[in-house]
Amino acid sequence: MKKHLGTGFAAMALMAALSGCAGSPGTSTTTAAPTPSATSRAATSAAPTTGTPSAAAAVDLKAASSSAGNIVVDSAGMSLYFFTKDVKDSGTSACTGACLTAWPPLLTTAATPAAEGVTGTLGTIATPDGAKQVTLNGLPLYYFAQDKNPGDILGQGVNGVWNLATPAGEMIRSAASGY
């Protein structure tokens, strides 16, 4: 019985975090800068939710095949997503506050991110805490916290605003992943 209650509370917490990501453009759930532990993701970690990751010295992106089509993944095979509320080439992320808990940014310390099989233009933007978030065709890239294993694409279509990134830098707009 206790296990079911814990699972229910965890599901409610996830839905609360995800609902913060579905607001209208220009709105945010908080004005405080996110903490580094909530927003940092190591591009080379086996699973993006283990430990307190930090930015990798070099981000190695690559193309991979998935049930949704060809997508962009990090060097460990973790899927990367676009947020439809982000504005191309704006230099900022529309995902702030609680949104960053469910959708951590892909960070790097490299001046120019490296990629294999990715034909879109890679770059970086500064996060509020001064880290470098990787961009593809001018849009920031994010992980989905519920993707636990390489190849997971559970974030696809969440709230109708999260889409997998293609190697060309386009959004895969298809049915939701079950959320």
For the residues 28-43, what does the mean pLDDT come to? Answer: 35
Q: With 50 as the cut, is the pLDDT of residue 32 above it?
A: no
Query: Helix, strand, or coil here: 57?
Result: coil
Q: Are 34 and 96 in contact (CB under 8 A)?
A: yes
Largest distance between two CA atoms of the chain: 51
Q: In Å, how far from its chain's centre is CA 85?
A: 13
| Stronger pLDDT, 59 or 68, i.e. the higher one | 68
Residue with tokens 């559970």: 154
Pick the range with the lowest mean pLDDT from 29-33, 82-86, 166-170: 29-33
pLDDT of residue 137: 97
Q: Predicted confidence band at 112 (pLDDT cuts at 50, 70, 90)?
A: confident
Q: What are the C-alpha distances in Å from 137 to residues 14, 82, 112, 164, 175?
A: 29, 11, 13, 14, 23
For the residues 105-116, what does the mean pLDDT come to? Answer: 92
Q: Predicted confidence band at 167 (pLDDT cuts at 50, 70, 90)?
A: very high
